[in-house]
Amino acid sequence: MLQVLNPATEELVATVPAATPADIDAAVARATVAQRGWAAAAPADRARLLRRFAVVVDEHVEELAHLEVAEAGHTIGNARWEAGNVRDLLDFAAGGVERLNGRQIPVAGGLDVTILEPLGVVGVIAPWNFPMPIAAWATAPALAAGNAVILKPAETTPLTALRLAALALEAGLPEGLFQVLPGTGPVAGNALVEHPGIAKIVFTGSTRVGKSIMAKCADQVKRLTLELGGKSPNIVFADADIEAAAAAAPMSFLDNSGQDCCARTRILVQRSAYDRFLELLTPAIEEIVVGDPLDERTQMGPLISRAQLDRVRSYVTEDLKGIRGKAPEGPGFWFPPTVLTDVPEDAPCAVEEVFGPVAVVLPFDDEADAIRLANATEYGLSGSIWTRDVGRALRASRAVRAGNLSVNSHSSVRYWTPFGGYRQSGLGRELGPDALTAFTETKNVFISTEA
């Protein structure tokens, strides 16, 4: 049994049975049957059903948002956005069903066409930090491209995923097409990875687990998308609007209590603007409202679990200097907004993913030094560049080795633009105009006109 705790109160929200390898096996058998019928259905019918699914999700945004608050501790505003994001992802994917075009390629003596075929049954392994959106990033385009999906949510956050599976049936999606099987990673997750009936794994989670899944997929040459960790830079050049950069910096790493793979946790500031930036950042951090996720004014909630709290604490040792915000006392997994200063460039808190409300500020000398520091981790997921110099913005955008960059802002994830990591932040891309293609095989067919 999986125990779901409310991270803000530590109260038990629900207990959910954990799937066994036999459960996974039975789910794959059901999905295989459902997928055949789904792939054979007219594109317009598949699109219509996915749009209906989007409408049903839209009708349940408030309910889903409250479930997300209860199991993940997200602020209610974020949770509403997340449920709405699932609706939008389904809508966007539905629009792709009838646009999943192959090509016609000029050849002598015949006609050459490519056909984009569904893979079959796709296994999605999701993390707890954004349970709904991340599950839907893969599920919506996979279904739209004609696949069946088995989703294994994280141990701590199965409830929204289970509800989405029920809503899919309510919308009229065929039985077995989209199944949610909560369970532990090493048992249910691993059973999906090793199952020969699963054509592709989409894994979002830690780089450590991602590497082990990649190795196991190699055994069957199983298709794989990996969305892994990050330690993203927020580069502030002295010619930037320093007031704007300092005002935007807190929520760029405190949103979702820092449990965000794109969190800008390495704030790199040009030395000549360093003191001014910290002077502006200090009150901004101290004023962040941390507390009850259901209070509309709250900007930051708790961490997901005791284990995560212990992990975050281990990085913020007593000897480290910095800016500390406020956090509630008592039950719940609370940690205050924290910015560490005067840390060595290669300190664990400066290069490892803390996955909590903790950032470091490091000074740099010039553009070359900024790029060197920005690239000085094993990750490459996202990053921000603050400058008024257009040439510098473009040079830095080219030089930072990361998949999702943002100039004079911190936006990075939109369902209609591609998302994914360089280096150890991942493999493959999700979202964007090519989202459906990632769930297809390209078949080339030559038809002779000579016979």
Which residues form the interface with ligand NAD (CB under 6 A)? 125-130, 134, 152, 154-155, 184-186, 189-190, 193, 204-206, 209, 212-213, 227-230, 261, 353, 355, 381, 421, 425-426
Give the angle subtended at the CA of 228 by the CAs of 226 and 232, to the nearest 5°: 135
Minimum CB–partner distance for residue 191 and ligand NAD (Å): 8
* Nearer of residues 6 and 207 to ligand NAD, judged by Cβ: 207
Torsions phi, psi for 405 (to 5 deg): -115, 160
Minimum CB–partner distance for residue 351 and ligand NAD (Å): 14
* Nearer of residues 292 and 430 to ligand NAD, judged by Cβ: 430
Query: What pairing do the DSSP bridges indicate for beta strands 321-324 and 338-341?
Result: antiparallel
Q: Which of 155, 227, 353, 430 is catalytic?
A: 227
* Nearer of residues 100 and 303 to ligand NAD, judged by Cβ: 303
* Nearer of residues 23 and 292 to ligand NAD, judged by Cβ: 23
* Nearer of residues 2 and 93 to ligand NAD, judged by Cβ: 2
Any catalytic annotation for residue 63? no
Query: Does residue 337 contact residue 359 with C-beta atoms inside 8 Å?
Result: no
Query: Does residue 71 contact residue 305 with C-beta atoms inside 8 Å?
Result: no
Alpha-carbon gap, residue 137 to 161, rounded angstroms: 13
Going by the DSSP 8-state scheme, the letter that residue 377 receives in this structure is S
Minimum CB–partner distance for residue 126 and ligand NAD (Å): 6
* Nearer of residues 97 and 142 to ligand NAD, judged by Cβ: 142
Alpha-carbon gap, residue 18 to 2, rounded angstroms: 6
- Local structure of 295: helix, strand or coil: coil
* Rg, Å, the chain Cα set: 23
H helices present in 152-302, as ranges: 159-171, 190-194, 207-218, 242-254, 274-286
H helices present in 60-153, as ranges: 61-72, 76-97, 131-144
Minimum CB–partner distance for residue 228 and ligand NAD (Å): 5
**Angular region, 420: left φ>0, alpha ψ -120 to 50, beta rest:** left
* Nearer of residues 203 and 364 to ligand NAD, judged by Cβ: 203
Torsions phi, psi for 121 (to 5 deg): -105, 125
Query: What pairing do the DSSP bridges indicate for beta strands 233-236 and 223-227?
Result: unpaired
Burial class (CB in 10 A: 0-12, 13-18, 19+), 9: middle
Alpha-carbon gap, residue 161 to 182, rounded angstroms: 9
Minimum CB–partner distance for residue 392 and ligand NAD (Å): 27
Minimum CB–partner distance for residue 13 and ligand NAD (Å): 18
* Nearer of residues 28 and 246 to ligand NAD, judged by Cβ: 28
Q: Which residue is nearest to ligand NAD (CB)?
A: 185
Q: Closest Cα partner for 430 from 443, 445, 417, 419?
A: 419
Minimum CB–partner distance for residue 327 and ligand NAD (Å): 21
Alpha-carbon gap, residue 315 to 343, rounded angstroms: 12
Give the Cβ contact number of residue 368 at 10 Å. Answer: 10
Pull the structure tokens for residue 154: 């994280």
Minimum CB–partner distance for residue 436 and ligand NAD (Å): 18
- Mind telling me the catalytic residues? 227
